[in-house]
Structure 1
Amino acid sequence: MDVSLLLWVLTILGLGILIGADFFIGRKPHDVSMKEAGIWTVVWIVLAVLFGLGLMVFGHGQASQEFFAGFITEKSLSVDNLFVFVLIMAKFAVPSQLQQRVLLIGVLIALVLRAIFIAAGAAIIANFSWVFYIFGAFLIYTAWKLIQEARKDEEDEEFEENRLLKSIEKKFGVADQYHGTKLFIQKNGKRVLTPLMVVMLAIGTTDVLFALDSIPAIFGLTQDPYIVFTANAFALMGLRQLYFLIGGLLKKLVHLSYGLSVILGFIGIKLVLHALHESGLHVPQISIPVSLGVICGVLVITTITSLVASKKQAQAEAAAAGPERIDA
């Protein structure tokens, strides 16, 4: 898809206006209700759908299909990020009324860092087609690793700060309590970070680790930097509201990691086949409609099996607790 500089500028300005409106509406710290989270979740999904349809009308069908496949993939991988966001919020004991501010700024940091990753990835792909072998192998390895992690006991999971975050805390110092929405305060004549700033940095920089698999994954569906960027932008900007909307549902998605591993493995194979094709070998290639069907199918099946398994587990726990209540 041939994208002019003007279209890039207009797209970034449009996203900036939407982000600004989101920030202005929720600028006052408050507890996000299910209604508010639900409305904004629907708004961002509708905007993504309209954008995809706009690509179909003003661009071409291939671009639209690639956007929707990329958006759904990035959205599903972003949902997995929410598990880590929950751990971060718990570790830093973030007050409920400040969590929406943390997520907004944290996601903005993540979006900027991902834009850098996307630009670098696009430049590498444009000059070295063999990089698809590396991307494909990495996604297949990540898929296997996800399965291994899913089989472990998740109750002992705890967020560990990365080296960058630790070095920032050591250099600037951190206040011992929250100070509303302030990011810095003066303490003993020295300017130090507030815990709120640390959490925002934790959310943003931790997302870089997720970008290591999500960026190669979407490049496996499209090599168009414009579609890669916009799909990531729409997926990330709806993540804040999704956090509050499905926070209680996350624990019930027990098979999500298995589903994501299947998707990453599938895209990894797609990338390897594409690399072989680029090398001159006559191998079958997986089309975007097939990719879109597989991704959606896996997510639907994973969600259904997760809810069924969670329901059975709840019933088993209730049955086991029954005799104890009678004895009591």
Structure 2
Amino acid sequence: MSVAPWVWVLTIAVIAALLAFDFFFHVRKAHIPTLREAAVWSSIYVGIAIAFGVLLLFFGGAQMGGEYFTGYLIEKALSVDNLFVFLVIIGSFAVPREDQQKVLLFGIVFALIARTAFILAGKAIIETWSWAFYIFGLFLIITAGRMIGPEKEDQDDANNFIIRLAKKYLRTSDHYDGDKLFTIENGKRVLTPMLLVMVAIGGTDLLFALDSVPAIYGVTTDVYVVFTATAFSLMGLRQLYFLIDGLLDRLIYLKYGLSAILAFIGIKLVLEALVSNQLPFINGGEPVDVWHPTIPVSLSVIVVVLAVTIVASLVSPTGRIASAVGSLDRAAHAYLHTEYHSDGDDRLRQYEQIQEKLAKLRSMDSPKARQMADEAGLPWTMEKVEELHLSTRDR
């Protein structure tokens, strides 16, 4: 279905207005959102996304509406996966809780820009090369396999390549100045860690866009549906971060669900490529008559997989332990990044929070809890925390 230019203009204006509203009414003044505030606004943004989907069903038909909701679910699930990385980066930089909203909103805006660029590039590739779906499909299948593979160790998100270059060649400060991106230090204008953390998050947004765009093109090639599903899936992600902050680590099976969904979409893309095949070395360049999932089938598979993995994660005792281990590990590493502490009171407050988290983990006295703590390297990390606390207390 062809979308009129005025519809595009109106849609982009609405999305821009929502982002502007979010900044001026929620983010501009630094504060920690209450659970009620996060829940209310998360519901509002989800409601807006659903209402938009209903409008597409009404004006664009069942096919267009179904593609939107399927794409929205895929992108929303992948966006939640983004939050895991945001959580680690924010913890690594020890971003003050009241200033995290600005970092998250920047991440959302940059993600939207990055994905829009990839959406346009993806559309151009699809229209130029008929065999592009084969590449997209194989890429998603490989990504699905890598997602459930072992995680890389010794990866310091606060000192990735881009950040090291910035610290080496640009004037940077090791201390926050509220939520300012620049500050004056020794009479010179320097970058604050707030700007560096935004650079780190921007880099991860680019990597996530590589997975996100091929996945949604596996649902539809309608660039308007792709763009709107992607944009509305990112709306409200900031509020969702504060709403499920304590639950993120508990979603221990989500990566398996996402892996299954990406593999399913990858296979779907390959099957659809076979149906419209033009490659001479496959079936003599003739289309291959194979079954491929319809939009209702795809939507059903995605809903079931996400529901099963989320429920299984939340009821799992292992998920509860993972939440405690992850929370303590991030707090401890943030404490060890002494360059980001504003003063002694800030360090003491962080140390007290670490002790509370440690007590919670110790209350789960079980072989599994000890095993997961050891695998995360918590004994060594906590030893360093105690050494730092003693050295700073004696000064």
When normalised by structure 1's length, the TM-score is 0.91
Comparing 20-29 with 263-272, which one deviates more in the overlay?
A: 20-29
> Equivalent residue of 2:245, what SS?
coil
1:87 corresponding residue in structure 2? 88
Q: Give the letter for the 2:291 counterpart.
A: P
Q: Give the letter for the 1:121 counterpart.
A: G
Distance change >3 Å, CA 99–CA 319, structure 1 → 2: closer
Distance 1:212 1:31 in 2: 32
Distance 1:143 1:106 in 2: 24
> Equivalent residue of 1:318, what SS?
coil
Tell me by how many angstroms 1:48 deviates.
Answer: 0.3
Tell me by how many angstroms 1:157 deviates.
Answer: 6.2
1:285 corresponding residue in structure 2? 292
CA contact (8 A) 1:110 1:205 kept: no
Tell me by how many angstroms 1:31 deviates.
Answer: 0.8
1:320 corresponding residue in structure 2? 366
Distance 1:32 1:313 in 2: 24
User: Of 301, 307, 314, which residue of structure 1 is paired with 2:314?
Assistant: 307
Distance 1:319 1:182 in 2: 43
CA contact (8 A) 1:106 1:202 kept: no
Comparing 177-186 with 87-96, which one deviates more in the overlay?
A: 177-186
Larger radius of gyration: 2
2:281 corresponding residue in structure 1? none
Distance change >3 Å, CA 116–CA 305, structure 1 → 2: same
CA contact (8 A) 2:162 2:200 kept: no
Q: Deviations 1:3-45 (Å, cap 9, x if unpaired)?
A: 1221111111111111111111112100111111111110110
Q: Give the letter for the 2:191 counterpart.
A: L
> Equivalent residue of 1:148, what SS?
coil
CA contact (8 A) 2:134 2:270 kept: yes
- What is the percentage of aligned positions where both structures have the same residue? 51
CA contact (8 A) 1:107 1:203 kept: no
2:110 corresponding residue in structure 1? 109
CA contact (8 A) 2:111 2:206 kept: yes
1:176 corresponding residue in structure 2? 174
Distance 1:148 1:91 in 2: 23
Alignment pair present for 1:204 and 2:205: no
Structure 1: tracts of 5 or more residues without a match: 322-328
1:69 corresponding residue in structure 2? 70
Tell me by how many angstroms 1:159 deviates.
Answer: 2.1
1:326 corresponding residue in structure 2? none
Map 1:1-328 to 2 at 5 A.
1-26=1-26, 27-149=28-150, 158-159=156-157, 161-188=159-186, 190-279=188-277, 280-310=287-317, 318=364, 320=366
Structure 2: tracts of 5 or more residues without a match: 278-286, 322-360, 368-395
When normalised by structure 2's length, the TM-score is 0.76
Distance change >3 Å, CA 157–CA 303, structure 1 → 2: farther
Q: Give the letter for the 1:285 counterpart.
A: H
Give the length in aligned residue pairs. Answer: 318
Distance 2:221 2:164 in 1: 35
Distance change >3 Å, CA 177–CA 6, structure 1 → 2: same
Distance change >3 Å, CA 181–CA 299, structure 1 → 2: same
CA contact (8 A) 2:31 2:99 kept: yes
CA contact (8 A) 2:133 2:269 kept: yes
Q: Which has the higher contact order (CA 8 A, sep 6+)?
A: 1
